[in-house]
Amino acid sequence: MMSPYAHTHTNSNVAVALLLRYTALTPGLQVETGLAALDWPTAALYLLVVGLCAPLWEEAVFRGFLLPSLCRSLPPAGAVLASGALFAACHFRPEMLAPLLLLGVVFGALYLATRNLLPSVVAHGLWNVHVLGTLVLRLHFGVDAATASLMAAASTQAALAVAALIAASVRAAARVSAAATEEGPGGRGGSGASAGSAG
């Protein structure tokens, strides 16, 4: 079922690679070599693609379309796990399967908790930016791997905190909106009746 999406995603990555003059899309040292060769304007454009375009596309497919579809035939936990597994598998990186599965589960849980794609898109984008930022720190600023890992851990915690804050805000806004919808017509009707009797 996901093969057309994976094929489209792969084609879009190739198109982005041509746009950015960046051909190292395969895992491992080629990625680091490609990032090291980027000039700053191209790196900024790549950051935009990684931090915004990819999260929007992937969250729309995996959490906006796939997860609600799976929820029709699976319990929520099973649907989140299945969509997370497909999310991890479609990245075609066996060595990153477990971390990507965990990310997919977190993003799926954020979506189910809020029924809104914004928290998962933000968390996904921040995760991608911190991964890219860690590589940039190592390759362009000479930060050692241990320090870069500590900085990555801190940025990951910050990303999760921001996503949790957005999720809480979305849920609070939804509750306020639902409460206003329930009592709004009656309240307006009551005030209108009072105004009419006063007149």
Does any domain span residue 60?
yes
- Residues 128, 55: contact at Cβ < 8 Å? yes
Does any domain span residue 184?
no
Does any domain span residue 182?
no
Does any domain span residue 86?
yes
Does any domain span residue 196?
no
pLDDT computed for residue 17 by the predictor: 35
Q: What domain range includes position 16?
A: 3-175
Does any domain span residue 14?
yes
Neighbours of 122 (CB within 10 A): 19
Instruction: Please state, in angstroms and as integers, the Cα–Cα distance from residue 50 to each residue in 113, 115, 120, 125, 194, following that order.
Output: 25, 24, 15, 7, 57
Does any domain span residue 193?
no
Length of the chain: 199
Structural domains of the chain, count: 1
pLDDT computed for residue 184 by the predictor: 62
What span, in angstroms and rounded, lies between the C-alpha atoms of 124 and 107? 7
- Residues 160, 123: contact at Cβ < 8 Å? yes
User: pTM of the full predicted structure?
Assistant: 0.63
Condensed to tens digits (0 to 9), the pLDDT of residues 167-185 reads 788 888 888 888 888 876 5
The residue to which tokens 């006063």 are assigned? 198
Alpha-carbon Rg for the chain, nearest whole angstrom, is: 22
What residues of the chain score a pLDDT lower than 50?
1-28, 189-199
Longest Cα pair distance anywhere in the chain, in angstroms? 79
The residue to which tokens 């693609």 are assigned? 49
What span, in angstroms and rounded, lies between the C-alpha atoms of 157 and 117? 20
- Residues 103, 112: contact at Cβ < 8 Å? no
